[in-house]
């Protein structure tokens, strides 16, 4: 029993010492690995995924649209971080946007700015503005460090808090944990079920980034309503909705955030 309490005390101490304050959200997050380590491991996963799946040629209209919307969101994020004096937080980001052939209704972004959209999402987004809402949301998960936070939590839970640097990529247990968090084949928008705080952050800043990119954030409500309708009509719920807040909760929260997002939109039309 004493050993158990000692272990809990050690974990608590490590958690406190390893917390970092996110530069943009202001929320404290567990951080046992560096951004560079995360980006290196993510790049390996990303390349493997592209090699194993059918990437839609960049010359097609849909792939061109995905790249266009993605680049506009990336420019908006860069501008936003610069306005907050946090440009260095994006130093490791080398943006890439790919459209992949799949019926799955999904999109994701890995650390370092590697973004994939599935063709199954486009009939639901219907237009560029709605796609911008999705990309803003998924990219926020990456830039807000949600994956690193989740990975750090899993490392700590498995007693691997001392693993770092190159050892992360060679430690079988650490790699397995990383894959469970980031493997595209097992992801929910790229992450395992996110906390409500993470989802609210992704919706919040995703709206801002889309608005700054010149897309009307008000399309977010009908988009999420269309997503909800897929499940209501008896279809398999889109991966992006799995383990996320309920449709009603999400839409209500987005409506509360809309006045702020519209200010950014009006300033960037």
Helices first, then strands: H and E counts in the chain: 11, 5
68 within some domain: yes
Task: Tell which wins on pLDDT, 207 or 244.
Answer: 207
CA 37 to chain centre: 17
For residue 154, indicate whether it is catalytic: no
Q: What is the pLDDT of residue 147?
A: 79
Indicate the average pLDDT of the chain. Answer: 81
HEC per residue, 159-210: CCCCCCCCHHHHCHHHHHHHHHHHCHHHCECCECCCCHHHHHHHHHHHHHHH
Domain extent at residue 176: 32-267
Q: Per-residue pLDDT for 124 more than 60?
A: yes
With a cut of 50, say whether residue 188 has pLDDT above it.
Answer: no
> Which of 75-79, 97-101, 196-200 is the least confident region?
196-200
Q: Could you tell me which residue, 205 or 11, shows the higher pLDDT?
A: 205
Q: Percentage of residues in the chain with pLDDT exceeding 70?
A: 77
Q: Is residue 77 part of a domain?
A: yes
Is the pLDDT at 16 greater than 50, yes or no? no
- Per-residue confidence (pLDDT) for residue 152, from 0 to 100: 78
Instruction: Check residue 246 and give its pLDDT.
Output: 65
Instruction: Tell me the backbone φ, ψ of residue 139, rounded to 5 degrees.
Output: -70, -35
Query: Is position 56 within any domain?
Result: yes
Mean pLDDT, residues 161-178: 63
Q: Judge whether 25 lies within some domain.
A: no
Q: What average pLDDT does the segment 113-128 reach?
A: 96
Instruction: Determine the pLDDT at residue 27.
Output: 82
Structurally, how many domains does the chain consist of?
A: 1
Query: Each residue of 93-120: pLDDT tens digit?
Result: 999 999 999 999 999 999 899 999 999 9
Mean pLDDT of 57-73: 98
| Position 162 confidence tier, pLDDT thresholds 50, 70, 90 | low
* Predicted confidence band of residue 181 (pLDDT cuts 50, 70, 90): confident
pLDDT of 1 higher than 80:
no
Q: Is 15 a domain residue? A: no
Model confidence at 5, pLDDT cuts 50, 70, 90, reads very low
| Residue from 39, 96, 138, 199 carrying the catalytic annotation | 138
For residues 207-212, average pLDDT: 98
Q: What are the CA-CA distances from residue 110 to residues 107, 138, 141 (Å)?
A: 10, 9, 9
Instruction: Please report the pLDDT score of residue 61 as a whole number.
Output: 98
d(CA 241, CA 29): 24
Q: pLDDT category, 68, cuts 50, 70, 90?
A: very high
Ramachandran angles phi, psi of 100, nearest 5°: -120, 140
Quote the CA–CA distance of 120 and 82 in Å, as a whole number: 34
10 in a domain, yes or no?
no
Among 78, 59, 116, smallest CA distance to 213 is for: 78
What pLDDT does residue 161 have? 57
- Note whether residue 16 is domain-resident: no
In a domain, 6, yes or no: no
**The model's pTM:** 0.82
């Amino acid at each position: 029993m004493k050993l158990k309490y000692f272990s809990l005390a050690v974990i608590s101490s490590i958690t406190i010492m390893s917390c970092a304050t996110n530069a943009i959200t202001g929320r404290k997050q567990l951080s046992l690995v560096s951004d560079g380590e995360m980006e290196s491991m993510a790049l390996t996963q990303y390349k493997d995924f592209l090699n194993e799946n059918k990437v839609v040629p960049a010359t097609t209209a849909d792939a061109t649209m995905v790249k266009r919307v993605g680049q506009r969101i990336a420019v908006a994020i860069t501008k936003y971080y610069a306005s907050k004096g946090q440009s260095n937080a994006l130093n490791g980001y080398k943006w890439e946007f790919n459209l992949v052939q799949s019926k799955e209704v999904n999109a994701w972004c890995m650390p370092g700015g590697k973004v994939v959209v599935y063709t199954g999402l486009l009939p639901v987004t219907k237009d560029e503005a709605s796609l911008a809402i999705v990309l803003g949301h998924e990219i926020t998960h990456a830039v807000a460090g949600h994956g690193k936070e989740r990975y750090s939590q899993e490392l700590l839970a498995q007693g691997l808090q001392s693993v770092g640097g190159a050892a992360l990529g060679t430690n079988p247990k650490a790699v397995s944990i990383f894959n469970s968090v980031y493997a595209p084949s097992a992801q929910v928008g790229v992450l395992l079920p996110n906390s409500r705080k993470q989802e609210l952050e992704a919706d919040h800043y995703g709206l801002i980034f889309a608005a700054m990119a010149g897309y009307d954030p008000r399309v977010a409500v009908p988009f999420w309503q269309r997503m909800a309708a897929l499940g209501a009509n008896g279809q398999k719920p889109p991966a992006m909705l799995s383990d996320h807040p309920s449709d009603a909760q999400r839409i209500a929260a987005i409506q509360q955030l809309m006045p702020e997002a519209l200010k950014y939109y009006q300033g960037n039309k």
